[in-house]
Chain A
Amino acid sequence: MRTPQTAPSRMHLAFAVLGLAFLGIFSWVFMQEFFAEWRTTQAQFRAIEGQVKDPHALSLAPPADGIRQIWLRDIDRVDRCTTCHLGVDDDAFVKAPQPFTTHSGTWLKTHPPDRFGCTVCHGGQGEATDYRDAAHQPIPHWSDPIRPRELIEANCGTCHREREPKEAFLLAAGRARIAEAGCIACHDLPGFSLDEVQAPRLESVGYKVRPDWLRKWLADPKAYLPQARMPNFRLEPDEIQDLTAFLLSQRQTTPLDASGVDWSKADADHGRAVFGEARCVSCHMIDGRGGTLGPELTTVGSKVRRDWLYSFLEDPMHDQPDTRMLRYRLADNDIRDLVAYLTEDLVDPDAATTPPAVGFLDPKQVEAGKQTFIKHGCFSCHRFGNLASTAKIGPSLMAIGDRTVEPSDFRGESADPTLENYLYLKLREPDKLAEDSRMPTFNFTEQEAATVVVALLSTRKADLPASRVTDAPAPKPYRPQGAFGALVSRYRCLSCHQVNGWGGTLSTVPLDRIGSQLQYAHIVAYLQQPYAIRVSVEARMPHFGMTADEARTIADYFSSVFVDDALEKPFAPAPDAARRGAALYTKLGCRGCHIIGQTGGYVGPDLSDTGHRLKPGWIQAWLAAPEKWKPGTLQPDYGLKPEEVQDLTAYLMTLSRTAAGRTP
């Protein structure tokens, strides 16, 4: 049988079928290209553009035809988002549907798209030209999807490294929380300093605390005091015993001698009066009232030993060189009475009355306690002799926002395995995600933990060009020398006040230009006998018991160093300026917030003694632009004209307690 030498017809059929299939598939390729998502989106846009714009505006608008991209040369990033988000910078599209809607707020004015693109703030894959790949929702293999609006401040923080970026409240709250919790003690974190960690030194703690209290405190600080800064280390009972023994064995600095004190003569009621006069409550809380700068004192009598407290009040810096507590100038008897008040009236009724004597401790247990102390990294916060220099106990968080997490990191928690969920769970319950985690439990509330997550997510690799980073310069330590320096140290001015951004934040009055704001005589008088400038504010300047010489030393320094020449202008008001100023004072309703004499509101400072208190240059500068001196102030900017400012100042300068017949 011969095989036919021409092709059989089934082969022709196969040709036809395969040829058609090939044509079909090839045209599918073309269709896919020419009906790409971005092309159809642009067609929709052109239709909407025709509706919202008049023909003239339409003719001026660049045609929406082709891929648009923004190239950020310095960070080598390409954003093609505007290929579809075509109306984002055009107010005509406020009511248009997404993706054409105008950008909300004034963000595009502060962050012009040609300099910032889109993904710098929002995240997402800028190179993509379709919805899915742009990572509007998380997609595999793109680590930086578009952040939900709730978390977008994490992206603000990558460039805005200052502690309180404007209009990023979650971020600011998170950073404040990080500073407060002292994360920097155990982790490397940019933007925070070890100087912010406040924990007492423990080298002499054996003389200070009672064993019962110490055990309770170590078991759970927040059970003793809900607002305690020390977190819960989840210690085992035997660890607590060892650690207690170790800490009680720490007796490096002997307290000042209190053996001569006749405690039988102590008068607790007088002590309570001293406590009130000295304004201790500005920093210390008792029964829920008072400041939080210093420790809470409701049951301090059951916490510390009497002799140590006496020594501490005589000289707080004796065994705590870094304390924020000032050294009052009090008579020995006043101190004795104060100690009596604190140790007799402020006690925990359930605690034992007298502590065991400071005595022998089992060296083995002390050594075990030392190991526990090292294991949990207690030295990270409580700087402790030669242990303090050890490397940080926790992993570095320098680029924590770039960390990748695996589902296995979640140890059975059913959460979506993202970094933000990991951080959140870790902050809330550190022991759940790692069995032997040494990270203590901070008892963050849900909201607190969420803000900390936002702040942590903003900490990315430091590869941004400097021109993109905004940061407040780190405050330089301010340590004045000489007689003034000694007084600043003794009275711990910088626990509450700031100089050049260095110092505490309890007072809202920085000292940088205080000499140009206050009159010399007022400074001298006020330092010796502080009174309430704002009657409704609880945290007031303490009554130091300062001598006149000391007050003058400080006032001299203020008046010659802490001055601002721009404020020191001669003030020569027109003769009837004060009268016009008085009328203006009434017209503007200043009495709503300020007291003069007996009447007025409690919001702003009492103005009764302004003529003796403030300098006219400062009053004028303040009234002209309050926001400039104190952002977010409650002093309204009335938009006063210069002559109105002058009139008002002239009136205020006439105010004086003595002139009104009142005692200074």
Chain B
Amino acid sequence: MTRCLRLPLRVALGLAVAVALGGCGRGRPAKRSEPLMDVFRKQAQEEGLTRAQTEGKRLFGQYCVTCHGDAGGGDGQNAYNLDPKPPVFQTSLTTHPRTYWRQIIEGGTASVGRSPLCPPWGHNLTASQIDELVAYLDALARPAPPTQPSAPAPKS
């Protein structure tokens, strides 16, 4: 009789082991490295920019650096042809609210009663692109981070 009862016990044990093994097989292994995502994470960490700011930086590189310089220092390759000279963003940006910068990007400096040398980009850029540029100006207005390699000026 005891001998007979042992059989179902064994079957149950066997099943339990099988289920446990099956469960192990299905479980995800411990977190492993993600070399590709690490590239993006490293980049994001170095730049310290939000996604909108990264877009803004690209637009800045395309439309603005020729006069305003890579880091907005007013030292672009065309700056010395201009009078008045482009401002140094690190200091000038703090004096006005964001709506003012927006106005300048959209309608040019002439639209706020200054020289006409910074042209209006409202027809070339979409509203969200201007948002992104303004977001990037936010990053420029911060105290300058340790020297970072600047993006090369795009081919025009």
A: residues with CB less than 8 A from B are 105-106, 140, 148-151, 169, 414-418, 420-421, 423-425, 428, 446-447, 449-450, 453, 508, 534, 536-537, 586-589, 591-593, 599-603, 626-627, 632-634, 636-639
Contacts and interface: CB of A to CB of B under 8 A. Distances in A.
A415 B120 contact: no
Contacts of A638: 119-120, 123
A582 to B, nearest CB: 14
B156 A588 contact: no
Contacts of A591: 117
A417 B26 CA distance: 15
Interface stretch (B15-23, B74-82, B89-97): B74-82
Nearest to A150: B40
A421 B36 CA distance: 6
B119 to A, nearest CB: 4
A536 B77 contact: yes
Given A589-B110, A638-B119, A416 B156 contact: no
A573 B19 CA distance: 90
28 contacts: A105-B128, A151-B36, A414-B33, A415-B33, A415-B34, A416-B34, A423-B36, A446-B42, A447-B43, A450-B36, A450-B40, A508-B155, A587-B110, A587-B116, A588-B116, A589-B118, A591-B117, A592-B67, A592-B82, A592-B116, A592-B119, A601-B67, A603-B67, A627-B124, A633-B124, A634-B62, A638-B123, A639-B120
A534 B43 CA distance: 35
A649 to B, nearest CB: 18
Contacts of B101: none
A415 B35 CA distance: 7
Contacts of A169: 58
A140 B26 contact: yes
Given A589-B117, A602-B78, A603-B156, A149 B33 contact: no
A636 B119 CA distance: 6
B32 A416 contact: yes
Nearest to A630: B156
A594 B34 CA distance: 49
A446 B66 contact: no
Given A148-B37, A603-B78, A636 B121 contact: yes
Contact of B156 (A151, A424, A627, A634): A634
A634 B66 contact: yes
B111 to A, nearest CB: 11
A416 B124 contact: no
A447 B41 CA distance: 11
A148 B40 CA distance: 11
Given A150-B40, A415-B34, A639-B122, 15 more contacts: A105-B128, A140-B26, A416-B33, A453-B36, A536-B78, A591-B117, A592-B67, A593-B119, A599-B81, A601-B81, A601-B82, A603-B66, A637-B124, A638-B119, A639-B123
A446 B119 CA distance: 37
Contacts of B43: 447
A261 B37 CA distance: 60
A218 B119 CA distance: 51
Contact-residue bracket for chain B: 35 or more
A614 to B, nearest CB: 18
A602 B77 contact: yes
Q: Which of A140, A537, A593 has the most CB of B within 10 A?
A: A593
A188 to B, nearest CB: 23
A634 B128 contact: no
A202 B37 CA distance: 41
Nearest to A593: B78
Nearest to B31: A416
Contacts of A148: 37
Contacts of A421: 34-36
A416 B30 CA distance: 9
A639 B123 CA distance: 7
Nearest to B29: A407
Nearest to B86: A592
Contacts of A425: 35
A293 to B, nearest CB: 13
Contacts of A599: 81
Interface in B50-64: 51, 58, 62-63
A450 B109 CA distance: 39
A637 B36 contact: no
A636 B123 CA distance: 7
A450 B26 CA distance: 30
Contacts of A415: 32-35
A601 B118 CA distance: 12
Given A603-B78, A637-B123, A589 B115 contact: yes
B39 interface: yes
Contacts of B126: 106
A446 B26 CA distance: 33
B120 to A, nearest CB: 6
Contacts of B155: 508
Nearest to A537: B156
B74 to A, nearest CB: 14
A535 B116 CA distance: 22
Which of B35, B51, B109 has most chain A Cβ within 10 Å? B35
B122 to A, nearest CB: 8
A634 B120 CA distance: 11
A361 B40 CA distance: 51
Nearest to B154: A632
Given A415-B34, A602-B77, A603-B156, A106 B128 contact: yes
A631 B42 CA distance: 32
A106 B130 CA distance: 13
Q: B43, B58, B78, B156: which has the most chain A beta carbons within 10 Å?
A: B156
A450 B62 CA distance: 22
Interface centre among A536, A588, A636, by most B CB within 10 Å?
Answer: A636
A43 B33 CA distance: 38
A424 B77 contact: no
Contacts of A589: 108-110, 115-119
A193 B61 CA distance: 31
Contacts of B66: 603, 634
A592 B115 CA distance: 10
A424 B35 contact: yes
Nearest to B109: A589
Contacts of B40: 150, 450
Contacts of A639: 120, 122-123
A639 B156 CA distance: 21
Nearest to A594: B81
Contacts of A600: 81
Contacts of B120: 636, 638-639
Interface in B100-145: 108-110, 115-124, 126, 128
- Among A424, A453, A589, A591, find the residue whose CB has the most chain B CB atoms closer than 10 A: A589
A416 B31 CA distance: 7
Contacts of B115: 589
A597 to B, nearest CB: 13
